[in-house]
Chains A and B, each alone.
Chain A
Amino acid sequence: MSLRDLFKKVHLFSGLDADDLERLGEIAVWGEAEPGDILIRQNTTGTEMYVIASGSVQVFIEGFADEQSLVVLGRGQVVGEMTLVDHGYRSASVRVTEEGCTYYRIEREDIDALCTEREHIGYAIMRNLASDLAFKLRHRNLAAM
């Protein structure tokens, strides 16, 4: 699947046109991770977010509940996106599942610069980011029932 086809299916980028997605593609760096690799380590500072292109990752809390998965995130999902908002420590760790995964990594300063250059991209991403967090919260609530 091409980067543009993937990004069209990423909720965080909903509402952006082909030209906007192409600009996002210019700041995205493709990568591949093996099963068990840690993409994000809890309580560290990180400046990047990841768009899962294939395979999947598990989100877990270190030292809690035997570090069992809180949720599995597959193709088209985004991890590490809270760095766009709070610049804080990572709230959880992210481990690659047995499937392995490929991803696109985007640095916060690159996406900040793009959102400043094209404010409508910034508006769309922040709107979608809030919606994505609401979706994940609703998922957690249902999973806990």
Chain B
Amino acid sequence: MAEANYYKVSYVVEGGSHTGAIISTDEEPTVGDEVTFDGAVFLITEVTELMPPVDDFGFLHATVRYLRDLDE
């Protein structure tokens, strides 16, 4: 995937147990990373380019798997 300074990421949760999130980040997400949103921790299982990069921005889609609630 093309290099970018910032990444806008569409996170979709496997199995539809959560509707997912859109979050911007400085670091390109990779498979095996953990990401936190909406009070839960998720494991990234797939990353693909959602749209071609523009200016400093990359646009990615990540599939994630629910791991645990943050307060567990």
Residues of chain A at the chain B interface (Cβ within 8 Å): 8-11, 14-15, 56, 58, 68-77, 97-99, 131, 134-136, 138-139, 142-143
Tell me the bound Cα distance from A113 to B16 in angstroms. 42
- By a CB distance below 8 angstroms, the chain A residues around B20 are 71-72, 139, 143
Q: Considering the chains assembled together, what is the distance between the CA atoms of A136 and B22 in angstroms?
A: 8
Main secondary structure of the interface of A (DSSP, over half): mixed
Bound-state Cα–Cα, A72 to B59, Å: 17
* B-side interface size class: 20 to 34
Q: Would you give the shortest CB distance from B6 to chain A, in whole angstroms?
A: 5
Instruction: Report the bound CA distance from A72 to B19 in whole Å.
Output: 8
Shortest C-beta distance, A79 to chain B (Å), equals 11
Q: How far is the CB of A49 from chain B (nearest CB, A)?
A: 15
Answer yes or no: B66 CB below 8 A from chain A CBs: no
CB pair A138 B51 closer than 8 Å: yes
CA–CA, A10 and B23, complex, Å: 10
- Is the CB–CB distance between A71 and B51 below 8 Å? no
Are B19 and A138 interface neighbours, CB within 8 A?
no
